[in-house]
Amino acid sequence: MRNKHIIAYIMLIFFSILVFGCSDINYVKSELTNTAKPSGGIEEDIPATKTFSVNESKLRNAVLSVLDQQGYIYEENPSTGTIKTEPQPLSGQRDSGFMGAIYSAKLFIKIAKSSLTLNARFNKESNLTMGGQNLQFSEKENALRKDFFDAVNNELALK
């Protein structure tokens, strides 16, 4: 009777390895060695600040419109020109079933005259390891900046 349980357990482990495949094993390894990061990102260094050829009011309206379009919940402080978003789950994340991590981004935006500064920090929730708050992933932050600045450019072109 006990041998049947052991055999069933071994078969379950073997089946799990087949189902989850090698990529998931590599992901689990990166989680356990604390080198896991959100998928995507770019190596190109995108400066945190970009200047647009519009006034502050038009830039602010475009930024708020993009935040709304991208589904961010945000809090604005008009007296300082800053906007802080609630954590938003990243799209296109690596899907590792029950062994994966969920990453979310918080944006910190400052509008000053015709300049827009965007910084991002990341939260991580993992089923394998301790998560983290306010983590930095420069490649993913560069991708978020590029996409956000492009979206603001497109929004300004529409108006």
- Express each pLDDT in 22-36 by its tens digit: 555 666 666 666 667
pLDDT at 40: 83
Residue 122, number of CB atoms within 10 A of its CB:
21
C-alpha separations of 3 from 6, 70, 148 in Å: 5, 55, 58
Burial class of residue 18 in the structure, from the number of CB atoms within 10 Å of its CB (0-12 exposed, 13-18 middle, 19+ buried): exposed
Asked if 90 and 101 touch (Cβ cutoff 8 Å), the reply is no
- Cα separation, 96 vs 27, in Å, equals 8
Of residues 137 and 38, which shows the higher confidence score? 137
Q: Is a pLDDT exceeding 70 seen at residue 5? A: no
- Cα separation, 143 vs 45, in Å, equals 9
Q: What is the DSSP letter of 133?
A: E
- Express each pLDDT in 67-126 by its tens digit: 999 999 999 999 999 999 999 998 766 544 555 688 999 999 999 999 999 999 999 987
DSSP string computed for 23-90: HHHHHHHHHHTT----S---SS---SEEE-SS-HHHHHHHHHHHHHHTT--EEEETTTTEEEEPPEEP
Q: Which phi and psi (to 5°) does residue 45 adopt?
A: -80, 110
Structure tokens of 121? 């920090």
